[in-house]
């Protein structure tokens, strides 16, 4: 049985033979002047004209003095037609030297564009030059399906499974569409720090790192929120940032400890203005990325257009009262615990001892507001949407402004689509005394053992004391992309987190 080591040794032997011919197997420059797609899409214009193309060999067929090489660049695949001819340059590969080339090698081919006898668009090469010798053969598609190996060798995965690379292109379009929408609506993109002395803006456990230059520990940001709102205090009116954030939490289909997120803040607006703007943004980004507003994901059929009507706006308290008869303003902790235990017994994890242990730990240690949030997530997971869930209780939204109509709730909003929250927004709190009291409550919860509670950030309070205008804030992560793409987080990022061997 031929092993990987055997294949590699044979390719090493070929490499030495190539070098002995005076050929550099790893030249620093390619002379490519034409992408494969330019030939395929403009054949009539290119027919009969000279072109130099380059790419990775995906297949080689040899028939005596004739040979056909299929190469691929990032725009498509093209056939290279070769026939035996005198070598014009020492670096040229003719059919006699073809045995030194392998699938996976990078080559450059120069010649005239035309069609083969079977009608296939080809470059009839008069010169083939090696650009990079591969020492390991790429596995076949059917032999490279193990998820862990695919994630560990993502560069191989992208070659064997082209849809992975295509997905990453759509991911890039997703963020570019987000950026374009915001810029077209008068926002300014400003990149903010990743390292923070005090982190906040979300309920999450942060990562900690150490900076030698200052001999201090820093947190990796869990949110973009507080620095962006400092910009509002500094005189900006519409700002946003797109970049990584870090949350030291578990890995599942909806969560990665490191992921790309987007947050924006607009002065002199409130949550009602925000819902109008970000509903438009979600639709725009979806259309630009996938070319449609209709999706079938997670067992739901979703139409973001919603028949041309605005998405419904449903109050948080009303929904929990309807679904579980919970009074979110006077919650019964025992009732919440019983609901969570009952629903767990119905779930797929009911026989998972670690999941059960995690639930019991949550019931013992989580604050009552966090238990309410866990119940809300049960409702959310079975909701198709799209709709806005609005006016969360004050205890669940420490950075949101109180409603002027009901001081027990906040002017907060989430879009619910296909069982998940595709964003988070609120009318921002700009009362420094109110903010200080809420920070103190969060810090007390943190001191009591809730590591996801927020920290007391006195610098932020000081900024508010200098004055910040009323504003609407919004954030969403690339989880939106994962959802509409219909894949898990690890499938949708280029190099997913995976435990080292």
Q: Say what the pLDDT of residue 427 is.
A: 94
Q: Say what the pLDDT of residue 204 is.
A: 87
Residues of the chain with CATH 2.40.50.140: 4-137
Is the distance from CB of 405 to CB of 391 less than 8 angstroms? no
The CATH class that applies to domain 160-311+385-492 reads: alpha beta
Give SS3 for 87.
Answer: coil
Q: Say what the pLDDT of residue 446 is.
A: 86
Q: Say what the pLDDT of residue 123 is.
A: 97
Give SS3 for 150.
Answer: helix
In this predicted model, what pLDDT tens digit does every residue of 259-298 receive, in sequence order?
A: 999 999 999 999 999 999 999 999 999 999 999 999 999 8
In order of 73, 102, 138, 364, the CA distances from 105 in angstroms are 12, 6, 10, 58
DSSP 160: H
Q: Which CATH superfamily is domain 4-137 in?
A: Nucleic acid-binding proteins (2.40.50.140)
Residues whose CB falls within 8 Å of the CB of residue 11, separated by 6 or more in sequence, listed in order:
102, 133, 134, 135, 136, 137
Instruction: Please give the backbone phi and psi of residue 294, each rounded to the nearest 5 degrees, phi first.
Output: -110, 130
Q: Say what the pLDDT of residue 95 is.
A: 85
Residue 146: how many other CB atoms lie within 10 Å: 9
Residues of the chain with CATH 3.30.930.10: 160-311+385-492
In the predicted model, residues of the chain with pLDDT beneath 50 are none
Q: Say what the pLDDT of residue 121 is.
A: 98
């Amino acid at each position: 049985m031929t092993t990987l080591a055997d294949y590699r040794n044979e390719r090493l032997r070929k490499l030495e033979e190539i070098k002995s011919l005076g050929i550099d197997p790893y030249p620093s420059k390619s002379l490519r002047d034409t992408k494969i797609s330019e030939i395929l899409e403009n054949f009539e214009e290119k027919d009969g004209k000279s072109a130099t193309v380059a790419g990775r060999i995906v297949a080689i067929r040899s028939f005596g003095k004739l040979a056909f090489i299929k190469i691929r660049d990032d725009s498509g695949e093209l056939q290279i037609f070769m026939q035996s001819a005198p070598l014009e340059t020492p670096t040229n590969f003719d059919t006699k030297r073809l045995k030194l080339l392998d699938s996976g090698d990078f080559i450059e081919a120069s010649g005239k564009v035309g069609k083969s006898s079977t009608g296939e668009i080809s470059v009839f090469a008069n010169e083939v030059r090696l650009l990079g010798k591969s020492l390991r053969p790429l596995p076949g598609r059917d032999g490279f399906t193990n998820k862990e190996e695919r994630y560990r060798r993502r560069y191989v995965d992208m070659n064997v499974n082209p849809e992975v690379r295509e997905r990453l292109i759509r991911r890039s379009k997703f963020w570019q569409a987000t950026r374009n929408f915001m810029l077209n609506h008068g926002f300014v993109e400003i990149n903010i720090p990743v390292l923070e002395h005090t982190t906040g803006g979300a309920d999450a456990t942060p990562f900690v790192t150490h900076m030698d230059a200052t001999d201090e520990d820093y947190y990796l940001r869990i949110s973009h929120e507080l620095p962006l709102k400092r910009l509002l205090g500094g005189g900006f009116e519409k700002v946003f940032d797109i970049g990584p954030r870090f949350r030291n939490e578990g890995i599942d289909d909806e969560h990665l400890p490191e992921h790309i997120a987007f947050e924006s803040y607009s002065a002199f607006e409130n949550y009602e203005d925000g819902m109008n703007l970000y509903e438009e943004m979600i639709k725009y980004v979806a259309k630009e990325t996938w070319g449609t507003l209709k999706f079938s994901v997670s067992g739901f059929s979703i139409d973001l257009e919603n028949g041309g009507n605005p998405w419904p706006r449903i109050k948080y308290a009303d929904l929990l009262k309807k679904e579980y008869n919970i009074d979110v303003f006077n919650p019964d902790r025992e009732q919440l615990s019983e609901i969570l235990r009952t629903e767990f017994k119905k779930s797929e994890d009911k026989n998972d001892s670690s999941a059960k242990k995690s639930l019991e730990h949550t019931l013992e240690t989580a604050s009552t507001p966090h238990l309410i949030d866990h119940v809300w997530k049960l409702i959310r997971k079975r909701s198709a949407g799209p709709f806005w869930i609005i006016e969360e209780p004050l205890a669940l939204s420490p950075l949101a402004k109180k409603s002027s109509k009901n001081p027990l709730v906040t002017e907060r909003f989430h879009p619910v689509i296909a069982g998940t929250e595709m964003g988070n927004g609120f009318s921002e709190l700009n009362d420094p005394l109110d903010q200080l009291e809420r920070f103190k409550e969060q810090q007390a919860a943190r001191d009591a053992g809730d590591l996801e509670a927020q920290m007391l950030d006195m610098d932020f309070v000081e900024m508010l004391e200098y004055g910040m205008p009323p504003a609407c804030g919004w954030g969403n992560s690339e989880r939106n992309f994962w959802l509409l793409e219909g894949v898990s987080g690890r499938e949708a990022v280029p190099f997913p987190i995976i435990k080292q061997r």
